[in-house]
Homo-oligomer: A and B are copies of this chain.
Amino acid sequence: MAKDRKIDLVILGLLSHEDLTGYDIKKQIDSGISFFWKGNFGSIYPALNEMEKSGLVKKKQDKKSSGREKILYHITNDGKKALQEWLREERVSNDLKYETLLKIYFGGGEDRSVTLRNIEVFENQVKEELQILKIYKENLEKVIEEKDHINYYLTVTFGIDTCETYLKWCVKAKKLLRSGSDGSKNKR
């Protein structure tokens, strides 16, 4: 398996539940984990091909009687082993790139309205995401007894908790910028 390509593990994780096509994989990434991980066809299909060559997944053609091209992938024992090893590996990279924070950090030389606007934009993004996460959480709560769902539930509550913290921070930050000490011409 490619050394640092996390998309491989995402694919193995999804295939450990059921056989899927590349298209299905993309959909599941979008709907289930997109708030902390992204995927796209340009990385999924090549990864599937390479993983088939190295024996982590197997193709299962499924033409459904029509001539429609569709490739179902199935995880192999080697694939399962690779997944398990990764899950037990304690080295993790949690890599955050908040362009919003960059703009706030470097916005000190501009009028404060610029930073205020950047906070508002972020606030709106977070509000949207929070709505989606809450719906997702409600749906999960209906089936929380099922195997695996407690793990999905944990990631969703992680998302909700952080979004709510972001929103509280936005309120605090705007207040501080509007009324706080301003030490320079950049008053507003």
Contact = CB atoms under 8 A, between A and B. Distances in A.
Nearest to A97: B95
What's the interface size class on A, roughly?
Answer: 35 or more
Which of A16, A94, A110 has the most chain B CB atoms inside 10 A of its CB? A94
Interface in A80-118: 83-84, 86-88, 90, 92-110, 114-115, 117-118
Interface of A: 6, 9-10, 12-14, 16-17, 32-33, 35-38, 83-84, 86-88, 90, 92-110, 114-115, 117-118, 121-122, 125, 144-155, 157-158, 161-162, 164-166, 168-169, 172-173, 176-177, 180-184, 186
A104 B169 contact: no
B103 A92 contact: yes
B168 A154 contact: no
The 6 closest A-B CB pairs, nearest first, are: A108-B148, A13-B106, A108-B151, A147-B184, A165-B165, A95-B97
Contact of A181 (B14, B114, B150, B152): B150
A99 B10 CA distance: 10
B114 A88 contact: yes
A153 B36 CA distance: 26
A38 B94 CA distance: 12
B149 A108 contact: yes
Given A16-B106, A97-B36, A102-B6, A169 B181 contact: no
A105 B6 contact: no
Given A147-B183, A154-B173, A180-B150, A109 B33 contact: no
A115 B126 CA distance: 27
Which of A36, A98, A104 has the most chain B CB atoms inside 10 A of its CB? A98
Nearest to A125: B94
